[in-house]
Amino acid sequence: MRLIVRVCGPLSGRVRAPGDKSISHRAAMLAAIAEGTSRIEGFLACDDCLRTAEALRHLGVTVEQAGVGTLEVHGEGLDALREPDAPLDMGNSGTGMRLLMGLAAGRPMTVTFTGDESLTGRPMDRIAEPLERMGARVEGRGERCTPPVTVHGGDLGGITYAPPMASAQVKSAVLLAGLSAAGETTVVEVARSRDHTERMLAAMGADISVEGLRVTLRPGRALRATSMSIPADLSSAAFLLAAGLLVEGSDVQAADALLNPTRTGLLEALEAMGAKIGLGGRRDVAGEPVGTVRAQPGALRAAEFGGDLIPRMIDEVPLLAVIATQAEGTTVIRDAAELRVKESDRLAAMAEVLGAMGADVREREDGLEITGPIPLSGTTIDARGDHRVAMSAAVAGLVARGETVIEGAECIRTSYPTFVADLRTLGADCIEESDDD
């Protein structure tokens, strides 16, 4: 499928992005090992999250669709998980695979995980290493333990683990394994990463404490089933907000957006660039802060971003690069080498995409340098199977001369199935075409 985007007039409106992807994954998993029935409203029905739900079914959990965007998960506790009859196909979902590896490691069973071409090229060694220290056996391909990866679980002991990078996926996998371990499990982060797992575990009755960058889980308490509503995904809403910042005369509002401080790094970066960002309607939903974010165009100035800010906007860095092309001066993004092992090498991909559109962009070992403002020109882009590259290119296409064609845009469905519809609701000129058209 290709997405065709053309420069457009002002964008205007209020849109609620789909449910948060990270929280949807975790809600389904924790409900699966809780005792009782959990109702999850606002569950993101994208391919990645649906793969997690299907994997849980293969692990013996009853997961039912109870309406549009609503799941009912009938949990019977950790002990009820059973060994699946076949490998679990996680598609393109790195989050689903890594977190479920942690869950499987604690149970006396063997589980093999596989995925699509992109996922089977992504390293799982950062998950395998702490799980093996806890007592599991993990087998994968090559030095980086790429999928298919097999976890032989059971008889774990708690550990204190300090990951070399700030990673919510590593932290979450270790904590999920720790639910079945003998003794407490502690994760000490180098920088703060998203904390949805800790929040949800606490809300469901786990014995967990957080002190600064140190998270400690003490096993033994059964998780309580609960009903929850998933906030709108700020990482998805960010694309709509960026369009509102870049298209002259626009006024875009993202409703019910997740405002967890471990996820608002992009908003802080945009404020540093002088962007017109407003926040209103703050409240709590399912233990998470949410609100309405408003974006309007204005003069943008370059800035330098790195350090502790990067983990809190890691998924939005490709989009930040697009915004930087329209800022005055040279924007430097550093400490983002983690982006080289996502669905694509996102640093190389964005350097190539923006370069092809006429931007002044230079690739660094751990980031990018972008000098602006500079007019962009439409061209044909290969999405590289990466939803965030595809959506970032679409935002760039809204302010580029001519027509921007994004080939392989079906990958957008892995995280934001209604992306094109939401852009069109705001007034964007974009259409989807199938390969048969």
When pLDDT is cut at 50, 70 and 90, the band that residue 437 belongs to is low
Q: What is the pLDDT of residues 393-421, one digit of tens each?
A: 999 999 999 999 999 999 999 999 999 99
Give the CA diameter of the chain: 61
Q: Active-site positions?
A: 315
Q: What is the pLDDT of residues 294-333, one digit of tens each?
A: 999 999 999 999 999 999 999 999 999 999 999 999 999 9
435 pLDDT above the threshold of 80: no
Averaged over 191-207, what is the pLDDT? 95
Q: Give the model's pLDDT for residue 417.
A: 93
Instruction: Sketch the domain layout of the chain as residue ranges.
Output: 2-18+231-433, 21-229
DSSP class of residue 142 equals: T
C-alpha span between 360 and 310 (Å, rounded): 22
C-alpha span between 359 and 395 (Å, rounded): 14
Extended beta strands in 271-382, E state: 276-285, 288-296, 304-305, 329-333, 360-364, 367-372, 376-377, 380-382
Q: What is the pLDDT of residues 362-398, one digit of tens each?
A: 999 999 999 999 999 999 999 999 999 999 999 999 9
Averaged over 324-349, what is the pLDDT? 96
| Residue % of the chain over a pLDDT of 70 | 100
178 pLDDT above the threshold of 70: yes
Backbone angles phi, psi at 38, to 5 degrees: -110, 135
Residue 437 CB contacts under 8 Å (≥ 6 apart), including other chains = none
Averaged over 199-222, what is the pLDDT? 96
Q: Specify the CATH architecture of the domain 21-229.
A: Alpha-beta prism (3.65)
Q: Give the model's pLDDT for residue 434.
A: 87
| Residue % of the chain over a pLDDT of 90 | 97
C-alpha span between 253 and 240 (Å, rounded): 8
Q: How close are the terminal C-alpha atoms of the chain, in Å?
A: 9
C-alpha span between 287 and 416 (Å, rounded): 23
285 pLDDT above the threshold of 90: no
Tokens of 83: 């060994």
Q: What is the pLDDT of residues 27-84, one digit of tens each?
A: 999 999 999 999 999 999 999 999 999 999 999 999 999 988 899 999 999 999 999 9
286 pLDDT above the threshold of 80: no
In terms of CATH, what superfamily is 2-18+231-433?
A: Enolpyruvate transferase domain (3.65.10.10)
When pLDDT is cut at 50, 70 and 90, the band that residue 287 belongs to is confident
Extended beta strands in 212-366, E state: 214-218, 228-229, 251-258, 276-285, 288-296, 304-305, 329-333, 360-364
Comparing 2-18+231-433 with 21-229, is the CATH topology the same?
Answer: yes
